[in-house]
Amino acid sequence: MIPNGVDLKVFSPEGPKFPLKTKKSFKFLFVGGSIHRKGIDIVLAAYAAAFSSRDNVVLVIKDQSGNTYGNTGITERLMKMRSDRGDLPEIEYICEPLPEPQIAALYRSCNVLVHPYRGEGYGLPIAEAMACGLPVIVTQGGAADDFVTPEVGHLIPATTKPARVQPFMAAAPGFWLLEPDTQSVATAMRSTFENTDHTLAMGRKAHDHALKTLGWHKAIELASDRIKILSEIRPIRFRARATAFVFDTTTGSNDGIAEILTSYVAEFKAEEPVSLCFVVSIADLQKATDETTNQIAAILTQLNISEFPEIRVISTARDIGEISKHSTIQWIESAPGSVMGLDGIMSHRLGASRLRYKRALEGSHAPI
């Protein structure tokens, strides 16, 4: 992995602090868009469960400014929380854009960063907060695992759930997100508040770790090493199989599976370099895998086909690595004739075959 880098001259424990309005002494901080994927709802629920207005704490929310995420409803949510609960612990909301030096000052003005994300590409605010000397409370099992350890932060246990990301739809079916445990977040927040000496020590370790691994110097070093390695490797221009077609059975109907499979085995010969992969639900792996496998076998039997190109059932979205040997991966939509992207002659062939199948079926009105 070639990580993002943090400007360690800007993001450091030394420097001015941001002038917050609160008079509370212990400050939790959330930095990022107030959307489902970033876990803002988990932060609010955990904070409200762990503290009351009698505690000397405040949650500072630095929201994403501008229209990147649209109207997330965070202000209405905060208003409702305040009206529903009279002893709600203090929350300070910041939405105006801040330049990097002021963001660094905001980190320095707080004690702990709370970021129980459901999905992250890297988690730059986590790295920036660590560089400023803050311990972090983050989700375990995601992007931050690359640079957050138990010595510098609290790793929150999470389960994996199938999902689609709003307002940005996933690039392909079979997407999954982490679901952090809200009670564990509340426990971690309470622990950092009650054990200030330990929290300070974790923050110092986080800063030391950032100096060694999170600066641009480290990103440059890793990139340079990788380029050197790649320059000495003969490129693989052709792979064993050219195209993998991938269909998410959790969003398509049974008729969709039959149409795709029938079109696939009619269009491609057994020796052709293609593979058809069905992604099944991760909610009940064994049941979903068995049902899909049995359905494929029944369709092939009905078609009286004994030789056919490769067909796979992929148990989870994470197992997509199994098809990495293909030079092209094409996601199939349930709409007749559709292959997302239509990249290359193989995809055009499958798309055309599906359209022929649909027209033939409409003309005969005969079941498969």
pLDDT in tens, 70-81: 567 888 989 999
Confidence grade of residue 171 (pLDDT, cut at 50, 70, 90): very low
Q: What is the pLDDT of residue 217?
A: 93
Longest dimension (CA), the chain: 77
Q: What is the pLDDT of residue 334?
A: 77
- State which of 33-37, 49-53, 326-330, 346-350 shows the largest mean pLDDT: 49-53
H-assigned helices in 2-73: 40-50
Who's near 216: CB < 8 A, 6+ residues apart?
5, 6, 7, 8
Pairwise CA distance, residues 50 & 190, whole Å: 6
Who's near 265: CB < 8 A, 6+ residues apart?
300, 303, 305, 308, 309
Average confidence (pLDDT) over 291-300:
89
Which of 29-33, 37-41, 95-99, 318-322 shows the lowest mean pLDDT across its residues?
318-322
pLDDT at 239 over 50: no
Confidence grade of residue 338 (pLDDT, cut at 50, 70, 90): confident
Angle between helices 182-194 and 196-213 (to 10 degrees): 110
pLDDT at 174 over 70: no
Q: What is the pLDDT of residue 360?
A: 80
> Among 3.40.50, 3.10.450, 1.10.10, 3.30.1360, what is the CATH number of 241-364?
3.40.50
Q: Which two tokens stand for residue 122?
A: 């890297």
176 pairs with which residues across the strands?
A: 162
**If you ran DSSP here, which 8-state letter would residue 334 be given?**
S
Task: Round the average pLDDT of the chain to a whole number and report it.
Answer: 86
> Among 3.40.50.920, 3.50.50.60, 3.30.70.2740, 3.40.50.2000, what is the CATH number of 26-218?
3.40.50.2000
Q: Which two tokens stand for residue 228?
A: 């050197």
C-beta of residue 277 within 8 angstroms of C-beta of residue 246: yes
Closest CA to 92 of 137, 26, 153, 38: 26
Q: Where are the domains of the chain?
A: 26-218, 241-364
Confidence (pTM): 0.66
Same fold, 26-218 and 241-364: yes
Confidence grade of residue 238 (pLDDT, cut at 50, 70, 90): very low
pLDDT digits (tens, 9 = 90+) for 80-129: 999 899 899 999 999 999 999 999 999 999 999 999 999 999 999 999 99
